[in-house]
Amino acid sequence: MRPDETTNEVKTAGYNSLRLAVLSRGPRLYSTRRIVEEAKKRGIEVEVCDPMKFSLVVGEGSVDVLHKGRHFTHDAVIPRIGHSITQHGVAVLRHIEQLGIWTANTGQGILQSRDKLNASQILARNRIPVPITVYVRDVIDVEQAIETVGGLPVVVKVTQGTQGDGVFLRHTAFEVRNLVQGLLMTGKSVLVQEYIAESHGKDIRALVVGDRVVACMRRRARGREFRSNYHLNGTVEKVELPAGYAEAACRAARLLGLNIAGVDLLEGKNGPLVLEVNSSPGLEGIEKASGVNVAGAIVDFVMEDTAFSEVDIGQLLRTIPGSGVLSLQLRNHPKMVGKRLRDVFASVPVFALSRENRLVWNPEEDLQLRYDDVLVCYGELTELRSSLRQAMLGVPREALMFDETAEETEG
């Protein structure tokens, strides 16, 4: 027996009882087939489940999921939900999450990534470089939008779309106005986006699995087409991914709540720009271009991570009556910047501080606050709000407390 066979046996030992479901309407699609193949190689019981065949049951104090009339009893789920059934697919996935079943991507993560405006908002707020983008709701705003993104030409796109659909390059203000007007009249939400000339007709797709890039490729458009999508007959080639690009891809996927994602990166003058994050990335092009067994990496991640479920800490802590989590963004309270925690808070339980690209748990009292810091506090909400108001306004705490007894008497 070869050493690699021994290693594989050790790796898969104990996982033969894992029951894996792939949520997909296309069992014959390349990506779905490859995941099923790799799962079976590892001795995993795997089933392709059509999201449209689920029934969701809600009762007093309980939820249940039925697939084709039978109870859904799988241990882990890899969602491959198509854009056309996003709302229904996410509803199914959220129901599964309520049962405590492990999912490779969450319903919230899928929704955030598929709304291009929302995704850009989240990424930009967290210092992920993205092309300048303007959300346009009226034709009269087109000229201002063009100026804001740096002038013509510009990219016009709808907030919901996939595989290059709904993405257009326009070179004159007249063309932009006509296109935007037409899209708005059909009920579309429209974005006007900065055109990155140096990345015309090409981008890099990084496949992120569990906080690391497992494969990448450069995609190039053919002919006069500026969209480089593989499904638009673009070509793909192997590429060595610089560390900065890999870091941007991993952070983008994590911020949008995705464990498995295809992150599209533009090669800008000053480094990578995150263009889009795909929650159900196709595997065919990237496996062929990179030579990497991406489907195998996905299944390995499931095997390693399925015992651990992610938790919405705010929702969990709100289950304690009267308690919860509050955040404080220092950029909105400049008087606090430069001070130390102990000078600002007497007894507020600050249990985390978000700074740059890291999270500091239980920060020290002598830590000096910075402009972009975000404080995360937990405790009894009435007491917590009072203490935070005192810190923000710098007034005696007693002046911020409400006399509930007096209010009741007056009523």
Token pair listed for 62: 């309980």
Q: pTM here?
A: 0.80
Does an H or E element contain 45, and which? strand 45-49
Q: Check residue 277 and give its pLDDT.
A: 96
Token pair listed for 297: 């990496």
Confidence of residue 341 (pLDDT cuts 50, 70, 90): confident
Q: Residues 288-315: pLDDT tens digits?
A: 999 999 999 999 999 999 876 666 666 6
Residue 44 has pLDDT above 70, yes or no: yes
Please write down the HEC assignment for all residues of 237-294: EECCCCHHHHHHHHHHHHHCCECEEEEEEEEECCEEEEEEEECCCCCHHHHHHHCCCH
The reply to whether 198-305 shares the fold of 132-195 is: no
Residue 121 has pLDDT above 90, yes or no: yes
Could you give the maximum distance between any two Cα atoms of the chain, in Å? 85
Residue 338 has pLDDT above 50, yes or no: yes
The secondary structure of residue 105, as a DSSP letter, is B
Any idea which architecture 3-112 has in CATH?
Answer: 3-Layer(aba) Sandwich (3.40)
The number of beta carbons lying within 10 Å of the beta carbon of residue 94 is 17
Q: Which residues pair with 64 in a beta bridge?
A: 57
Say which residues have a Cβ less than 8 Å from residue 311's Cβ, sequence separation at least 6. Answer: none
Residue 402 has pLDDT above 50, yes or no: no
Q: Check residue 399 and give its pLDDT.
A: 42
CATH top-level class for 198-305? alpha beta
Which CATH entry fits the domain spanning 132-195: 3.30.1490.20, 3.40.50.150, 3.30.1650.10, 3.10.20.590?
3.30.1490.20
Fold of 313-410: Alpha-Beta Plaits (3.30.70)
| Selection from 27, 209, 20 nearest residue 101 by Cα | 20
Mean pLDDT value of segment 44-52: 97
Mean pLDDT value of segment 347-367: 84
Residue 209 has pLDDT above 60, yes or no: yes
Q: Check residue 389 and give its pLDDT.
A: 81
Determine what percent of the chain is predicted with pLDDT higher than 70.
85
Say which residues have a Cβ less than 8 Å from residue 282's Cβ, sequence separation at least 6. Answer: 30, 31, 230, 231, 262
Poorest-pLDDT segment among 195-204, 205-214, 311-320, 345-354: 311-320
Q: Where are the domains of the chain?
A: 3-112, 132-195, 198-305, 313-410
Q: Check residue 102 and give its pLDDT.
A: 93
